[in-house]
């Protein structure tokens, strides 16, 4: 099949993209308003951008032309957020926080999750997640229906039982979950290693 995107509806383009760009990591973002109201929501338009400085990106869709999603509204207000990570043990709770609740509703409470104090931002972490990236807003980039948030990671916390020597992570204990398309998610299945080749004149 050949697709001329100029002839397709946005919803159809979305399905082609999210069905092809898989698996995607999930940023389970905790944020809070200036008044202190907590919010927790998952986003799969998410990835690493840079290690120096340590930058990640999250693309957050708009509810409509005049109404921002709670997460984006909070980040723009406070310039802080935490990316919590999704595992097999907390995936049901993550899904519960994807609910379209009104602004000001605390998804921590809805999902039965525990907010715990972060080290360097006011926004709390999700206790039930094994990895937390505390972030400060670095920059944003606007698209008609999305805002890309660039966050500088200023502190990382990881559960001791998933940490290996030399700053590596035990993926068997971590058990990360990836986003596919529609209602589909995936766990890591077969994990294999490939050494990167080194070019020589004889290659």
Give the pLDDT of residue 67: 81
Nearest Cα neighbor of 95 from 169, 42, 168 is: 42
Q: Using CA atoms, how far apart are residues 82 and 119, in angstroms rounded to an integer? A: 11
| CATH number of the structural domain 8-187 | 2.30.110.10
Arithmetic mean of pLDDT, 8-15:
94
Arithmetic mean of pLDDT, 13-18:
95
Query: What's the predicted TM-score (pTM) here?
Result: 0.94
Give the pLDDT of residue 201: 85
pLDDT reading at 104 higher than 90: no
Mention every residue, 6+ apart, whose C-beta is less than 8 A from residue 10. 145
Banded model confidence at residue 14, pLDDT cuts 50, 70, 90: very high
- Name the residue ranges covered by the structural domains of the chain: 8-187
Give the pLDDT of residue 65: 61
Residue 66: both structure tokens together = 């005049």
Arithmetic mean of pLDDT, 31-60:
97
């Amino acid at each position: 099949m050949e697709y001329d995107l100029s002839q397709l509806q946005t919803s159809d383009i979305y399905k082609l993209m999210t069905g092809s760009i898989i698996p995607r990591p999930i940023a389970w973002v905790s944020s809070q308003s200036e008044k202190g109201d907590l919010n927790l929501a998952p986003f799969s338009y998410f990835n690493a951008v840079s290690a120096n400085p340590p930058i990640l990106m999250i693309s957050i869709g708009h509810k409509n032309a005049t109404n921002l999603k709670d997460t984006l509204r909070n980040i723009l207000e406070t310039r802080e957020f935490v990316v919590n990570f999704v595992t097999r043990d907390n995936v049901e709770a993550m899904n519960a926080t994807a609910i379209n609740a009104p602004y000001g509703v605390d998804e921590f409470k809805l999902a039965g999750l525990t907010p715990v104090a972060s080290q360097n931002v006011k926004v709390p972490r999700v206790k039930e997640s094994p990895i937390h990236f505390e972030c400060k807003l670095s920059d944003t980039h606007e698209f008609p229906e999305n805002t890309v948030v660039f966050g500088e990671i200023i502190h990382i916390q990881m559960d001791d039982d998933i940490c290996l020597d030399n700053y590596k992570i035990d993926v068997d204990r971590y058990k990360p979950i990836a986003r596919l398309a529609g209602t589909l998610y995936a766990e890591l299945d077969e994990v294999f290693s490939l050494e990167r080749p080194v070019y020589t004149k004889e290659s």
